[in-house]
Chains A and B, each alone.
Chain A
């Protein structure tokens, strides 16, 4: 029997300046189901969620929630919470300086007779909640002492304990490793069994097929359709999201393969290290080569790149760039040498939200030239337009504030920023995280194109498949040590074994 419907959204429309963000979108959520909301960047997933939770006001349409008479319009997250709709975001929205128990109960603490907070009862109840989720932690410790995964679980626990009927998980797995994702899925299935309806927004196709019952696909602010998971194999899902047939991604490298045996080395590094983050390593990269850094999250792949770039100063070892010995003390020196780094944490280290797309693109170029050599406005506009066109950045204009762009498009702007400096060597740390599969392919193609122009590129990604498609060599890291390099036999299996280390039995 079909489960009871607990949430219906009908004909939701909403316009941002210049863009129709949602155009008569319908969405239905049933009790005890995990419902994936899929779509490319800018398809309207976040906007739809924000309409539901009251962050954005929708222009037309109607939301109905089971158990509440008449149409529902939320004016704030708090409003939505009171109606049983809770959201857990990618960035954990808890207070790091308070204890786990307080984070679970703040705003609705158990009280004593005289109205003060009953800390003992709060701690007991918090411990019970955590025990039920099989998370073994001391609830009186501060939240900041725990991993992001645990913090996310606590955020979910809080939402669920507030008796929510609809739980929205907005890209909850982006910063979790496989093991942690596994834990999250166990929790999601448990909640599903309790009858909570879960809306799961993610970019990871595997995860959708691992836990979801149903998929709703959006494209360009319009509803493509709602499908039971069994009726929508991957290829069809990708096709639905992109609106075209899925060209074979694996083939993009083939025709671009280049013979590098006669190319010069761009970087030759020996025995570089940074205390506490990465043990001494040797590293070389040739002109026109794409080298992948692979390993688990925290294995030292970002840290290796940071040492090369001078973001963490190398404490030992020597480094040659173009055959000349150099010492890089700070990123600006690396930039002068023609290097560029696209950081993995684009919110914290990348975009400047209140500047326009053009200004964000020009930023690194201006820094490289020095403050006094002004780039003329005309030149700036030309450069900005060139990259908006080249990377197909979706923006109302080049003067739009970057904060108004979707996450994937912001990522492209930062990529454009580094391309504009015309670097010889680019480090791309997770350049495709959080962006849709179509854009991913574009970025991968771009990487190969840049390599063909003779640029050297370090590519860091959690997705092995993606690296297999772009890199001709892979450096494997484990626990801050460079454990090996793979050149031949670049297959998923092979790389996985190298990352995992130890015995090679399956």
Chain B
């Protein structure tokens, strides 16, 4: 058996992971005195970005087919608004509302997927329409900020802490009280989503079809795959995961407003790209997107921990990273075609 040469995509993924490790280690060294070394800082990044992680998983699936979904940020705003208005103004049951939101995600994705898959319209245009629609609907439902306070079940779920067992990473705070690191429900949801999507992409026919369609749509059709259905399913999945992300997002913010999650779609795309997903489709992995989310999360935490820097610096850092990875990808592609 010949020795397997390392795939350039694997190299890209490793670079992403290495970058995350280096960045985090640097943070630990520079801001060690401000608590950056605590396990809880890491877990907080996870908590704050749990919604984004769900969205990024869905985005990755769509991008694998060569498409894009820019409706996700607005859909999250709509999800949050439905949850908040439902609970605060109508006094509805939190569980019922969550199911409603998830169903709405499926329908929303199915409509977009139908336009893209069966009517063969550009994904960018279709999901842009979706973006305007969802943001508009959010304002129609309620144009004010709504805070969730009264729904007992939802408040309880949102405040629930899951402590890390065996006191791993526990420390004494300044008052000498033992602090045990914890995560919240959204983190658990997001990690389950990550693992499930990872397995789906690797071990199911649907998952592999996403790659095939992104690799060559014509070939996929020739090999007997249903390209239209695959696209439809991809957009349903994206909107569904986005709605799960919306619930996570809502648990973190406990509020809703028209301006909620503005530009989140771009964060999700950036995370996927930093994680090695190609905009042209066919290449990518949710593990990469996970690290993409963590890298952007770490950057903003670093900027916050510094305290003196304007928060906009994290945007600039993400921009620089994006350039770095896009250039890297295109160099890899060039080397590949040169070899041939």
Contacts and interface: CB of A to CB of B under 8 A. Distances in A.
A443 B53 CA distance: 60
B65 to A, nearest CB: 12
Nearest to A162: B224
A138 B225 contact: no
A300 B328 CA distance: 29
Interface string B312-340: 00000000000000000000000010100
Nearest to A276: B338
B211 A144 contact: no
Nearest to B214: A97
B156 interface: no
B196 to A, nearest CB: 12
A95 B338 contact: no
B203 A94 contact: no
B282 A97 contact: yes
B216 A93 contact: yes
B193 to A, nearest CB: 18
A93 B4 contact: no
A106 interface: yes
9 contacts: A81-B224, A93-B216, A93-B219, A95-B215, A95-B220, A95-B223, A119-B202, A138-B4, A276-B338
B140 interface: no
Given A95-B220, A97-B211, A106-B208, A144 B336 contact: yes
Contact of A117 (B203, B220, B282, B336): B203
Nearest to A147: B340
A107 B215 contact: no
Contact of B216 (A78, A95, A276): A95
B262 interface: no
A142 B211 contact: no
A251 interface: no
Interface of A: 77-78, 81, 92-98, 102-103, 106-109, 115-117, 119, 138, 140-142, 144-145, 158, 276
B216 A96 contact: yes
B120 to A, nearest CB: 16
Given A138-B2, A144-B336, A95 B211 contact: yes
B77 interface: no
A138 B1 CA distance: 8
A325 to B, nearest CB: 30
B4 A116 contact: no
B195 to A, nearest CB: 14
A142 B338 contact: no
Which of B219, B225, B282, B283 has its CB near the most chain A CB atoms (within 10 A)?
A: B219
A94 B282 contact: no
A98 B208 contact: yes
Contacts of A138: 1-2, 4
Contact of B211 (A92, A98, A115): A98
Contacts of A141: 4-5, 7
Contacts, number: 73
Given A93-B218, A94-B216, A98-B215, A142 B208 contact: no
Which of B4, B208, B209 has its CB near the most chain A CB atoms (within 10 A)?
A: B208
Contacts of A119: 202-203
Contact of B222 (A77, A97, A108, A116): A77
B205 A109 contact: yes
Nearest to A107: B224
B218 A117 contact: no
Nearest to A298: B340
A113 to B, nearest CB: 13
A67 B204 CA distance: 34
Contacts of A145: 5
A140 B6 CA distance: 12
B187 interface: no
B273 interface: no
Nearest to A103: B223
Contacts of B218: 93
A97 B208 contact: no
B4 A95 contact: no
Interface in B174-213: 199, 202-205, 208-209, 211-212
Contacts of A115: 204
A92 B216 CA distance: 11
B177 to A, nearest CB: 47
Contact of B7 (A94, A107, A116, A142): A142
Contacts of B222: 77, 93
Nearest to B282: A97
A95 B282 contact: yes
Given A97-B215, A141-B5, 10 more contacts: A93-B218, A93-B222, A94-B219, A95-B212, A95-B223, A96-B216, A106-B208, A106-B209, A116-B199, A117-B203
9 interchain residue pairs of minimum CB distance: A95-B215, A97-B215, A97-B282, A116-B203, A93-B222, A93-B219, A107-B224, A78-B224, A95-B212
A87 to B, nearest CB: 8
Interface string B92-124: 000000000000000000000000000000000
Contacts of B4: 138, 140-141
B107 to A, nearest CB: 26
Interface string B272-313: 000000000011000000000000000000000000000000
A97 B225 contact: no
A95 B219 contact: yes
Contact of B208 (A93, A94, A102): A102
Given A144-B336, A276-B338, A117 B208 contact: yes
Contacts of A106: 208-209, 212, 220, 223, 225
A78 B203 CA distance: 24
Contacts of B214: 97
Contacts of B282: 95-97
A117 B220 CA distance: 17
Contact of B215 (A96, A116, A276): A96
A81 B224 CA distance: 9
